[in-house]
Chain A
Amino acid sequence: MRGPGRWAVLLALAVLAVVMLFPFVLVALNAVKSPADYSTHGPLSLPDGLYLQGLADFWSRVGFGGKLWNSLLISASVAVLAVVLSVLNAYALGIGRVKGRLSILVLFLVANTLPQEALAYPLYYLAKATGLYDTRLSVIIVMTVIQAAFGTYLLSAVLGQFPKEILEAAAIDGAGRLRALWRIVVPISRPTLNVLLIFFFIWTWNEFFLPLIFLISNDTQTVPVTLAVLQGEKFMDATMSSASALLGIVPAVAFFLIFQRTLTRGVTVGAIK
């Protein structure tokens, strides 16, 4: 397919992308709208002018800088720790093929399958008993386990297909098991690890329920919990919500855009020859 055909394909994919992005445009539009403008013209109109008061008000009202730091700390810790755990587990399950791996895998996946509401009360009592209630560490630990369960599953499926010859060659060379993991398995699965890192970071960033329950004081709160502060009992402040949403998604989007380039860069390293 040469000439116009390829442009048609590109066009179709681009149109789809625009459809996917439309809600973001709406968020941005309403973020810079004044409340009166919103009440008069509704959410779908173009803003009368640039109204940045909502953004500024929200920032200072909730001390947004501190929340950003909390979210960043929690999401980054969880992303890194969960990837490390996933690699270790997947190495044992996918390459080591330990006995009873199917049951172990199911067991791990339970972490992902349990409805979080079911864990709320037990984890609350455990956290209180260990003095971890209202600490960021509690959320980091819980989220690490939940994310690592997913990572373990994805990676052990991928590593299950890992060419045995490479590892056998390494074993002949006298490389130990740990060395084989770091020197061979990790570099070759880099693209998948990058994906996991990004997913974990973003999923943790957007996690609402557990931080809501565990991070009670304003000093430990994360961005999504803060966004909910605007959700009142009887109504919400839609323009300020949009403003806060914009502030809330910018870091995650930035993170994604920066790191997604490494996904592509992984191609050459990741190709198994």
Chain B
Amino acid sequence: MRARTRGYWLYLVPSLVLFLAVIVVPFLMNVGASFTRWSGVGTPRWIGLGNYARLLEDERFWQSFQHNVGLIVAMAVVPTAIGLVLAAALFDYIGKRFGPRTASALRAMYYLPQILPVAVAGVVWGWMLHPSYGAVNQILGLDLDWLGDPDLALATVMGVMVWFQLGYPVVIFMAGLQRVDPAYYEAAEIDGASWWRRFWHITIPQIRPEIFVVLLTCTIAALKVFGPIFVLTRGGPGNATMVPSYFSYLNFFQKSNVGYGSAVATVLALIIIVVTFLFLRVQEREQ
């Protein structure tokens, strides 16, 4: 049995080689740069832990992590929950009563926001959320400054992120449901189980691997979210939506402070790696 397991290693070789060149070496270079003062060109100057000492005291950086919590809710938790219901509804209700074509057409529409380049999405949402002529205020009959009010901006960004992310779990979950033996559903229907019961007792347990995948990848995406913040608020108003990855971007490309930016990126990466590891541990135990 041991020999059999060892044989599988071969399949990992191509990826490991590429991975070493594209991820491991650059990451180590990044860690190296984090101990220096460097503008990206020329010779870096070694300053030891100087960047990290500065980081510990940098309020903007730590504040920005708090916003990540909200974004995890908006990008991982809410889309997964809604996505589950939608995927199950499309698969186990619409698909059966209106035909698979209707179901896949709806799925396509939910997925489309993922296709819109984030820069364009930012411009369009800017129009829709505009405080004086924006469609959102007009439709809801409100007069809110969605992206400009510091108490509201993060919530608004969260809302846009739900819109943006929703299609991803729907597609993954529906693909997962196709893997499930239809006999389960048939048996449940013969037993007269309600839709919600089937949802709880068949759908969710059967696509548990996909749920984990979606939750983890979305959590990672939320931790390193950059594009939407960049196009919607640039971290504003007054740092109300600042996130670590935009913060590191500012240091890399606006201030040419590559050393400090590398330190921020390293800390962020380590935090994400720890989260990932814990998550995978739980997932392993579940299985």
Is the CB of B15 closer than 8 A to any CB of chain A?
Answer: yes
Is the CB of A218 closer than 8 A to any CB of chain B?
Answer: no
Chain A residues, Cβ within 8 Å of B14: 85, 88
> What separation, in Å, do the CA atoms of A142 and B86 have in the docked complex?
34
Closest Cβ neighbor of B10 among chain A residues: A92
- Per-residue CB contact flags for chain A residues 92-130 toward chain B (1 = under 8 Å, else 0) read 110111110010111111111111111111110110000
Secondary structure at the A interface, as helix, strand, loop or mixed, is helix
- Per-residue CB contact flags for chain B residues 243-281 toward chain A (1 = under 8 Å, else 0) read 011001100110000100110011011001100110011
**Contact of A115 with B268 in the complex, beta carbons under 8 Å:** yes
**Contact of B112 with A195 in the complex, beta carbons under 8 Å:** no
**Contact of B178 with A191 in the complex, beta carbons under 8 Å:** yes
Closest Cβ neighbor of A269 among chain B residues: B178
Interface residues of A in 1-41 (CB under 8 A from B): 1, 6, 9-10, 13-14, 16-17, 19-24, 26-27
> What separation, in Å, do the CA atoms of A96 and B7 have in the docked complex?
8
Closest Cβ neighbor of B212 among chain A residues: A157
> What separation, in Å, do the CA atoms of A130 and B167 have in the docked complex?
39
Chain B residues, Cβ within 8 Å of A260: 104, 107-108, 111
**Contact of A113 with B273 in the complex, beta carbons under 8 Å:** yes
Closest Cβ neighbor of A17 among chain B residues: B109
Closest Cβ neighbor of B34 among chain A residues: A118
CB distance from B146 to the nearest CB of A (A): 15
> What separation, in Å, do the CA atoms of A142 and B167 have in the docked complex?
25
Chain B residues, Cβ within 8 Å of A126: 21, 25-26
Interface residue stretch chosen among A48-56, A61-69, A223-231 = A223-231
Known: A10-B98, A117-B249, A256-B111. A123 touches B8 (CB 8 A): no
Chain A residues, Cβ within 8 Å of B100: 264, 267
Closest Cβ neighbor of A107 among chain B residues: B19
**Contact of B5 with A99 in the complex, beta carbons under 8 Å:** yes
Is the CB of A47 closer than 8 A to any CB of chain B?
Answer: no
**Contact of B15 with A106 in the complex, beta carbons under 8 Å:** no
**Contact of A142 with B210 in the complex, beta carbons under 8 Å:** no
**Contact of B281 with A88 in the complex, beta carbons under 8 Å:** no
Chain B residues, Cβ within 8 Å of A248: 117, 120
Is the CB of A194 closer than 8 A to any CB of chain B?
Answer: yes
CB distance from B53 to the nearest CB of A (A): 20
CB distance from B157 to the nearest CB of A (A): 15
Choose one: B209, B244, B248, B268; the contact of A160 (CB below 8 Å): B209
- Please tell me the size bucket of the interface on B: 35 or more
Chain A residues, Cβ within 8 Å of B104: 260-261, 263-264
Is the CB of B12 closer than 8 A to any CB of chain A?
Answer: yes
**Contact of B284 with A121 in the complex, beta carbons under 8 Å:** no
**Contact of B23 with A270 in the complex, beta carbons under 8 Å:** no
- Per-residue CB contact flags for chain A residues 212-253 toward chain B (1 = under 8 Å, else 0) read 000000000000100110010000101001100100110011
**Contact of B280 with A105 in the complex, beta carbons under 8 Å:** yes
CB distance from A199 to the nearest CB of B (A): 8
> What separation, in Å, do the CA atoms of A199 and B172 have in the docked complex?
10
Chain A residues, Cβ within 8 Å of B37: none
Is the CB of B58 closer than 8 A to any CB of chain A?
Answer: no
Is the CB of A271 closer than 8 A to any CB of chain B?
Answer: yes
Interface residues of A in 254-273 (CB under 8 A from B): 256-257, 260-261, 263-264, 266-267, 270-273
- Per-residue CB contact flags for chain B residues 109-122 toward chain A (1 = under 8 Å, else 0) read 11111111111110
**Contact of B125 with A13 in the complex, beta carbons under 8 Å:** no
Is the CB of A150 closer than 8 A to any CB of chain B?
Answer: yes
Known: A114-B269, A120-B252. A150 touches B22 (CB 8 A): no
Closest Cβ neighbor of B219 among chain A residues: A113
Interface residue stretch chosen among B64-72, B88-96, B232-240 = B88-96
- Per-residue CB contact flags for chain B residues 144-180 toward chain A (1 = under 8 Å, else 0) read 0000000000000000000100111001101110111
Is the CB of B181 closer than 8 A to any CB of chain A?
Answer: yes
What are some 24 contacts across the A-B interface (CB < 8 A)? A17-B110, A20-B163, A42-B133, A44-B128, A85-B18, A98-B12, A102-B280, A110-B23, A110-B27, A118-B26, A119-B23, A122-B26, A126-B21, A157-B210, A177-B8, A191-B175, A206-B115, A208-B117, A231-B119, A249-B120, A260-B108, A264-B104, A271-B178, A271-B180
- Seen from chain B, the residues whose Cβ lies within 8 Å of a Cβ on chain A are 5-12, 14-15, 18-19, 21-23, 25-27, 29-30, 33, 40, 86, 89-90, 93-94, 97-98, 100, 102-104, 106-121, 123-125, 127-128, 133-135, 163, 166-168, 171-172, 174-176, 178-182, 195, 209-210, 212-213, 216-217, 220, 223-224, 226-227, 244-245, 248-249, 252-253, 258, 261-262, 265-266, 268-269, 272-273, 276-277, 280-281, 283-284, 287
